[in-house]
Amino acid sequence: MKFFVDTADIKEIRDLAATGMLDGVTTNPTLIAKSGRDFFDVLKEICAVVPGPISAEVTATDAPGMIAEGEKLVKIAKNITIKVPLTWEGLKACKHFTSNGTMVNVTLCFSAAQALLAAKAGATFISPFVGRLDDIGQDGMQLISDIVTMYRQYDYFKTEVLVASIRNPVHITDAAMMGAHVATIPPSVLRQLVQHPLTDKGLEVFLSDWKKTGQKIA
């Protein structure tokens, strides 16, 4: 599974990228707004830090507007992925960009039917929002399972399932076991993956025993 980080905080991105585990970054207007910085400056800096796909979301709601914005965004860097909403206009824009070799992330997916449309439009990534479905009493992870199963029926579908709106480490491990291609993860949740009380306890014992020997490695 590929790990994308869902943030526009360049400090967080640099720190996580240093682990070698980041395969890409997803941003949206809300995350850019939180950074308090210029939209294009933030994206340029992120693209320079992480060589993988960097999702930059359009704000227009009509296909011509999305295409005009997207054409401007792709000039930022070769690894920019145009992010469009799962609407008819968004699907038109998706088809335009993928036909020209530009990566597209179709976002705000909440049903398998929508995911089918995105794959038909040639989306590079489909972003189902598991946490938001859980919030309204539906099973977000069931949607991931349904989309992965559906895509596997057709070799000509190249769209990757990018699990979004992740709220906890269980979302990530469940998605990985289902065969989802990518998870886009908030930095705080990504850091939780390494945590386990038995790891901390074991390390504490090892260090205590080592200290008793009075030895040093360096």
Q: For residues 21 and 161, give the distance between their C-alpha atoms in angstroms, rounded to a whole number.
A: 18
CA-based angle 35:8:134, to the nearest 5? 110
Q: 66: which DSSP letter?
A: H
Q: In the annotation, is 83 catalytic?
A: yes
Query: Which amino acid appears at position 182 of this protein?
Result: V
Q: Choose, from 75, 83, 92, 212, the residue flagged as catalytic.
A: 83
**Residues found in the chain:** 218
The 3-state DSSP class for residue 184 equals strand
**What residues are annotated to the active site?**
83
